[in-house]
Amino acid sequence: MAAGEFEFIRWLRGRIPPDSRVVLGPGDDCAVLARPGSDVLITTDVLTEGVDFRLAEVGGRAVGRKAMAVNLSDIAAMAGRPTAAVVGLVLPAGPGSRALAEDIFLGIEEVAKQFDVAVVGGDTNAWDGGLVISVSVMGETTGTGAVPRSGAKPGDWIFVTGPLGGSILGRHLNPTPRIEAARLLHQFVRLTAMADISDGLAADLNHILEESGCGAELVAEAIPIHADAVRLGARTQRSALDHALHDGEDFELVFTLSPEGGEKLSKEMPWPGLFKIGDCTKSGLTLIEKGASRALQPRGWSHEVV
């Protein structure tokens, strides 16, 4: 995510005319295209050497896995089912480029098999620069259709699908896209809005709030903190909660639903590890910590590789 990407997306959305073929255009986790039968989802993510991974440290296979997984996470964020992927590779030119391409593909294949995605095409280039991998994934909607970012309402409950923070210690390379959780939840109860946590909980929840035109109040003690957030906090001198709120690339889901739906979910827990972290309000983004309320900055951390 480049600095200023949101301003650019805003500019871009202002230019793009309405189109009867497009159910949902730029600005959500996936675009949704109207098709006979179920609608079609499409999403794309580009990963670059030095920003999203350090090739020399992690190797091509991990890069392939991550490139695939982050796209599947976007499909999960719509409660979709992934079907097919195309891959664009820009390889550093040189004698190792073929072996690197194979390693990357093996990583892509590993994740594709796990989530039943067909790798159907691609484009391979070489240049005098670093490795770039671009993956586009198509999918289908499930149940009552795609879950957008825009459907949250004041009073809705807010959940996340797992503990957050500190993914940079290693989890960011091998996330588990929450495809299954999302479909199961979406079948079980109507979700009003959803996003995957790629930029950080506060930032991604804020995308939901902006698209939905509402606010949120989070409860600090309810936010599930990953052990990595504690470990990282010991190193950075920031609190583990701060890491859980603002670190990126957890690739868990944050979603909202009606209080009735939330109660049903809390009672029956169709997916292990659901955490109610707060409620939607009319406006603002606040955090209640030890009974005191403070404004929560919707900042995420840039994907710096440490």
Exposed, middle or buried: residue 286 (CB in 10 Å: 0-12, 13-18, 19+)? middle
Out of 78, 79, 87, 193, the only residue in the binding site for a second copy (CB under 8 A) is 87
Do 219 and 288 form a contact (C-beta atoms < 8 A)? yes
Could you tell me the smallest distance in angstroms from the CB atom of residue 50 to a second copy?
Answer: 6
Out of 54, 58, 59, 83, the only residue in the binding site for a second copy (CB under 8 A) is 83
Q: Which is nearer to a second copy, 139 or 151 (CB)?
A: 139
Distance of CA 152 to the CA centre of its chain: 17
d(CA 191, CA 208): 12
Give the H/E segment covering residue 132. Answer: strand 132-140
Out of 118, 227, 234, 269, the only residue in the binding site for a second copy (CB under 8 A) is 118
Give the H/E segment covering residue 156. Answer: none
Q: Which is nearer to a second copy, 21 or 267 (CB)?
A: 21
* Amino acid code (one letter) for 125: N
Site string (17-56) toward a second copy, x via CB under 8 A: --x-xx-xxx-x-xx-x-xxx--x-xxxxx-xxxxx----
Residue span binding a second copy (CB under 8 A) among the ranges 78-86, 145-153, 239-247, 266-274: 78-86
Could you tell me the smallest distance in angstroms from the CB atom of residue 10 to a second copy?
Answer: 12
Q: Does 84 bind a second copy (CB under 8 A)?
A: yes
Question: Length of the chain, please?
Answer: 306
The label of the residue with tokens 């827990």 reads 269
User: What number of chain residues touch a second copy (CB under 8 A)?
Assistant: 68
Buried b or exposed e, range 138-169, using 16+ CB within 10 angstroms: bbbbbbebbbbbbbbeeebbbbbbbbbbbbbb
Q: Which is nearer to a second copy, 183 or 231 (CB)?
A: 183
Site string (123-152) toward a second copy, x via CB under 8 A: xxxxxxxx-x-x-x-x--------------
d(CA 246, CA 260): 29
Could you tell me the smallest distance in angstroms from the CB atom of residue 276 to a second copy?
Answer: 30
- For residue 254, give both structure tokens: 């944050």
Q: Does 286 bind a second copy (CB under 8 A)?
A: no
- For residue 54, give both structure tokens: 């350090």
The DSSP secondary-structure symbol of 141 reads -
Site string (89-108) toward a second copy, x via CB under 8 A: xxx-x---xx--xx--x---
Residue span binding a second copy (CB under 8 A) among the ranges 54-62, 115-123, 200-208, 270-278: 115-123
The 10 Å Cβ neighbour count of residue 100 is 21
Q: Which is nearer to a second copy, 118 or 227 (CB)?
A: 118
Could you tell me the smallest distance in angstroms from the CB atom of residue 125 to a second copy?
Answer: 5
d(CA 108, CA 124): 14
d(CA 134, CA 90): 9
The residues binding a second copy (CB under 8 A) are: 1-5, 7-9, 11-12, 15-16, 19, 21-22, 24-26, 28, 30-31, 33, 35-37, 40, 42-46, 48-52, 83-84, 86-91, 93, 97-98, 101-102, 105, 109, 118-130, 132, 134, 136, 138
